[in-house]
Every structure is written in structure tokens, then in C-alpha cells.
Amino acid sequence: MSITTFASPDVSAEALLSDFSQLDNQQLQDEIRGLASLTAAAMCRLLLLVAEMERRQAWADWGVRSCAHWLSWQCGFSLATAREHVRVGRALSSLPRTVALFGNGELTYAKVRAITRVATVENEELLTEYAKAATASQLEVIVRSFRRQNEVEEANAAHAKRSMEWVYEGEGVYVLTVRMTAEERAIIDRARKLAEADVSAETSAQHRPVEALVNIARSSLASGTTTSKDTHLVNLTVSAETLADDAGGECHVDGLDVSAETGRRLSCDAPVVVSLVDGTGRVLKMGRKARLFTGAARAAVLKRDRGICAFPSCTHTRWIDVHHITHWTRGGLTEPENGIVLCGFHHRAVHEGGFTVDHSFTFRTPTGVIVPKEADSLRLREFTTPLPAVAADACVSSDNGAPFDLDTAVGCLMDVTAN
């Protein structure tokens, strides 16, 4: 089974911008409704295919981080949208009634997305009845209200929503927004109050909690309880032969066994203390931050790669390493031509993950296939199975947005879900 490209996939702008003025108002509305239904049917197909790709992890062939990253890379979705597509696609696999209505263009993506947030085997039928009758925003209200009454569901959602972000407000001021659960808030608040006791008495009430939080971070760094690379140097003990070899060999980090390849990665760009030992375990040479890209050479690599991980599709700019294309134990120099910027994930991929990168910055999968630098262009294609012919009004809400009783709607939903 293969998906073939249309013989002439490019439709001219003249054809696309054809004159719609001959359509009367009814025809115009029918056309838009029909396309909305067709879009829903196509979206259903897309999400089911995404679910299949996620299930068999087909995206992993290319060394991307996740199915969502692949969608973002190859299909032009934002990462947030791609993640939502993966979530909805996964949910659909256990919602046959929703799939049937969605796939025939009777439920729009907006409605299906709402359904998948709360649907279970028990309540799916009722939810789809609501979805057919209500508008998308009415359905959102029902689903939100149902969720509020469903505490476990809410606790899980709160856990999933946890995030932290810095926003630059201007004039040297940064805003920190943290989303956390109640128990996490309690822990932070307790530590903050204790730390506030150590803030000087002259500090204003407005500034005290800020100083307290910064002091908590300072003491955490000073006590070395963090695993951050810069404050906590780990000791890598390995023989020079093992590091230079392609095969395995004994390698220890702070006394713990790690693979030789992990040793090669850590000695590639992490401020580790490298202890090279001979066959009897005698330490030959110790070097702190051995052979790392530092100073001008590091700056040149970062400038050339714009500080972004060089792996195709990756956009990471934080926690990046400068990888030696030829490892320093094999004669690779710490010169810009031998360095490449990689995020932690992809640095691991080219060491432990079996991916390779050469001096033309071409990445290959463990089986030797080149990872394309550019995404394939999006094209209209013929489908393996034709999309269904959809009725022109398939996606229209049957109740046309008529008012509904929220308490009754949610009550019924609670009843069927509990049973």
C-alpha cells in the first residue's frame, strides 16, 4: 500500500482564486459547510495515522525527540498543536463512536478535542449525543463543568499543567510564572517563610519573599545538592584505550559503572574530572575540563551554529554541548571545524544512540540513512482509502445553539460515568 502523489499537484493561483460571485448565498454557505465537514473527515484520518505512527514509534527513525517534534518538523504544526494532535489521536483509538462521527464529517475537530478530554467507555455515547446537538462552545462548557466535578480528573490535569517560565518585562525586570499543585505550593511556601527569617530586617515586605527565594537557590548551589554540570564536577575514570576505542570497556563516573560511550560523551563536553588509568588501574594523568571547547574555539562554534542544536529539526538553545566530531582521544582537535553544537538529547543520540555526524555536518541514523536537513514539502496526495463523501450539512449542530440546562447535562454525564 503506498500513497502516490498527484501527477500535477500544483493548482494555479488563478484556479484557486476563481470567481465565487456566481454562487448565490445558499450555495456559498453549503460550500463552506461541506468543506468544514470534509476538513473534519480529513482531520480524523490525520489523527488516526498520527496515533499509528506514535504506536509504532515510526518517528524515532529520524532521531527526533517525539512524535510531536516530527509533526512540527514535517507538517508545519506548532509544537503545542502537534502535542495536542498526538494526545487526541491516542485518545481516539478507544472511542469508536467518536471516530465514526468524526470520520464522516459529523463532528468537528473542536468538538472531538473537547470529547477526548473526558470521554470514557461509559460516557462516550452520551458525550457524542451532546456533541451532535450542541455547538462547540456549548460542548466546551459541559466538558469543563463536568471536569470540575470530577476531582481526580482535575488533580491529574493540574499535575500535567505544571510549568515554569521567565518573561522579560523590560527595564531589567523578569517575571517568573510557576504553575504547580497545591502540595508543591505548600512546600515552596514553607521554605520561603523559613528563608525570610534570614532576610535583613531593613528589606521591605515587597522584596522579602524575592530575596528569600534567591537565598534558597544560593544555598542549594553552595551545598552541592544540585546535579548541575557547572557546580558539581563528576569524576570520570577510564583508560585512554577505552576512550579512543569504538568498543566498550570499563568506565566509571563517581565510582558507578557507565558505558564507554557515556564516558566518551562526558569527556566530549562536560566539565568532568577525567582520570585516565592504565591496565592495572593506576592513574596516569588527571585533567580537569580536559580538552573541552573553551574560549575562542567555543565562541566560534556557537557563533557558526547560532547557539542552536545542529541536529535537523531541533531548535534547542539551552543546555547545549559542543561535540567533537572526531573525539579528542582519536586525534580530534578542539578547532571549530571539529566542533558542532548539540543539545543534551542529541549529544546523547550521537554517542549512546548510534547516530553519526561527519565533518560536512551530515547526520546519519544508526542504520546509515542520512537525516534530511529539510522537511519534505507538503503536497496534496491521493489517499490509500478515499475520504468519505460527506453531506453538505454533516457538521451542523442539530440543536442550532439552542439553550440547554447545564446542571442536567453534567448530572447525566456524572451518572453514566459513575456506572
Residue 309 in contact with Zn ion, rule: CB under 5 A: yes
Q: Among residues 36, 323, 329, 357, which is the contact residue for Zn ion, using CB under 5 A?
A: 323
Site for Zn ion, residues 261 to 290, rule: CB under 5 A: 268
Nearer of residues 106 and 305 to Zn ion, judged by Cβ: 305
Report the alpha-carbon distance of residue 6 to residue 3 in Å, rounded.
Answer: 10
Contact, 323 vs 357, CB < 8 A? yes
The interface mask with Zn ion, positions 222-261, x = CB under 5 A, is ----------------------------------------
- The Cβ-side half-sphere exposure at 94, using a 13 Å CA radius, reads 11
What's the DSSP call for residue 289?
T
Nearer of residues 109 and 311 to Zn ion, judged by Cβ: 311
Rg for the chain, CA atoms, rounded = 28
C-alpha distances in Å from residue 240, one per residue of 233, 269, 330, 357: 20, 17, 10, 23
Q: Among residues 134, 276, 314, 322, which is the contact residue for Zn ion, using CB under 5 A?
A: 314
Report the alpha-carbon distance of residue 346 to residue 64 in Å, rounded.
Answer: 9
- For 212, the 3-state DSSP assignment is helix
Tell me the site size for Zn ion, rule CB under 5 A: 8
Site for Zn ion, residues 25 to 84, rule: CB under 5 A: none
DSSP result, 302-364: HHHTTTS--STT----SSEEEEESS-GGGT--SSGGGEEEEEHHHHHHHHTT--EE-TT--EE
The interface mask with Zn ion, positions 326-365, x = CB under 5 A, is -----------------x--x-------------------
Least distance in Å: CB of 200 to Zn ion? Answer: 44
Nearer of residues 85 and 323 to Zn ion, judged by Cβ: 323
Nearer of residues 111 and 346 to Zn ion, judged by Cβ: 346
Nearer of residues 202 and 230 to Zn ion, judged by Cβ: 230
Least distance in Å: CB of 305 to Zn ion? Answer: 11
Contacts with Zn ion by CB under 5 A lie at 268, 309, 311, 314, 316, 323, 343, 346
